[in-house]
Amino acid sequence: MFVKIAGTGSVLPERVVDNFEIARMVDTSDEWIQTRTGIRTRHIAGKETVASMAAEAAKRAIEDAGISPEEIDLIIVSTVSAEQSLPCVACEVQKEIGAVRAAAFDLNSACSGFITGYQMAAGQMKAGLAKTALVIGSECLSNYVDWSDRGTCILFGDGAGAAILRADGAPEELEIPSVLHADGSKGDSLTCSLGHGKDKVPYDEYYRMDGRAIFKFAVRKVPEVIREVLSLSGHSVEEIDYFVLHQANRRIIEAIAKRLRQDEARFPMNIMDNGNISSACIPMLLDDMNRKGLLKPGMKLVLAGFGAGLTWGGFYLEW
C-alpha cells in the first residue's frame, strides 16, 4: 500500500518571455540557450504571486481529485521565493481554497522541495495524523533573477504545481519508498543571500550559481538516488514507466538517462516551454502528463529532485 496522487493541478503566469527577448538583454542567442539548456520560453509573473499561483494550482488539483477542500488535513507549500515572510504561503492557500480543517506550513528545500513535501506528507499519513494532503511547489524566481547575468537569467521561470495525496491503505500498511539527502558543505554552488540579524552576510538579492558544479552534482547523485528508491521499492529500473525529474536543464536529464542506460523517452520534459521553476517543476510536469492522458492506473514512476543546499531525493509512486 502506498501514498498515491489522487489529483494534480498547475498554473503559469500569462507573460511569456522567449529567448529572443532574453537576447536583447544580454549577450546570447536563441540557438545558444537552446543548445545548452533546452529552453525556448519561460513564463514571468506580472500580477501573479507565489500565493495566488499556489492557490489556483491547488483548486485545479482539488477539482481533478474530485474532493472537497474540507477533506484536506494538511497543506505543505515548498517555495524559495515568497513575497512575504508572514503569514506563510500555505496559510494563504488554506484561506483561499477554504480548507478549514487543514494544518498548513511552508518548507524550503529548493528544487528538491516537492520530494521533501511528499515525504513529509506521507510520514504524517503513516503516523495516522492525516488522510488527505495537498503538496504544492510555487515560485516567482524572476523576483531574484539578475537580468544582466547570462548564466542565470536564461534558466528560470515562474509557476506553480500541486498534488492531492491520499493513502490507499491503513497507516500501518503504508510503504514509503522515499529518500532524502543533503550536503551543506557544497552549498556555495547555488546561493541567494539576504543580510539579516547579528550574522550579516554580503547582501546579494540575486541567484548565483556555479553551473558546472551543479551539473556534475546532479549527474552523479540523481542516478544514485534513483537506485536507492528502486531498492526500497523492490523494482528494477526496467520496470519503471517514467522517471519524472526536476527540470533544471535538458542536458542534465539526458546525461542521467544515459547513466541509467534507459531510453530518454521515459524521461519526460517540459523545460522547453517553462524553464526551471525550482520546486514547482515536478508537480507541474506530473500535471502536464496527467492532463495529456500519459499516466495510466498501475503505472510505476520514480520522481527525483535536486538543487540548492545542496539537497537531493526521490520517491517511488504507483499511479
CATH number at residue 156: 3.40.47.10
Do 13 and 161 share a structural domain? yes
| Per annotation, catalytic residue among 91, 111, 153, 281 | 111
Do 262 and 233 share a structural domain? yes
Work out whether strand 158-167 and strand 3-11 pair parallel, antiparallel, or are unpaired. Answer: antiparallel
Q: Which residues of the chain have pLDDT under 50?
A: 191, 195-198, 200-203
Distance CA 72, CA 75 (A): 7
Residues 6 or more apart whose CB falls under 8 angstroms from that of 148 comprise 25, 26
Query: Which grid coordinates are listed for 144?
Result: 531574484
Give the model's pLDDT for residue 187: 54
Q: pTM value?
A: 0.93
Do 156 and 296 share a structural domain? no
Do 209 and 122 share a structural domain? no
Do 185 and 164 share a structural domain? no
181 in active site: no
Give the model's pLDDT for residue 194: 53
Domain C-terminal end among 173, 188, 222: 173
290 in active site: no
Do 158 and 307 share a structural domain? no
Domain C-terminal end among 133, 157, 173: 173
Give the model's pLDDT for residue 211: 62
Do 83 and 33 share a structural domain? yes
Domain C-terminal end among 124, 154, 173: 173
Specify the number of domains making up the chain: 2
| Per annotation, catalytic residue among 43, 91, 153, 246 | 246
Residue in 141, 4, 36 with CA at minimum distance from that of residue 83 = 141
Give the model's pLDDT for residue 190: 55
Residue 245, sorted as left (phi over 0), alpha (psi -120 to 50) or beta, turns out to be beta
Distance CA 195, CA 248 (A): 27
Helix (H, G, I), strand (E, B) or coil at 120: helix
| Per annotation, catalytic residue among 19, 274, 276, 290 | 276
Do 219 and 277 share a structural domain? yes
Residue in 316, 279, 307, 309 with CA at minimum distance from that of residue 140 = 279
Distance CA 109, CA 80 (A): 8
Give the model's pLDDT for residue 204: 52
Q: Which helix (H) or strand (E) holds 303?
A: strand 300-307
Give the model's pLDDT for residue 144: 83
- Exposure on the CB side of residue 274, measured as CA atoms within 13 A: 27
Helix (H, G, I), strand (E, B) or coil at 296: coil
Helix (H, G, I), strand (E, B) or coil at 240: coil
Do 144 and 184 share a structural domain? no
Place of cell 540548492: 308
Do 85 and 54 share a structural domain? yes
Which domain, by its residues, includes 38? 3-173
Do 240 and 135 share a structural domain? no
Distance CA 202, CA 157 (A): 25
Instruction: Render pLDDT for 255-280 as a digit per residue (tens, 0 to 9).
Output: 999 999 999 999 999 999 999 999 99
Query: Which grid coordinates are listed for 151?
Result: 548564466
111 in active site: yes
Do 203 and 168 share a structural domain? no
Give the model's pLDDT for residue 195: 46
Give the model's pLDDT for residue 181: 96
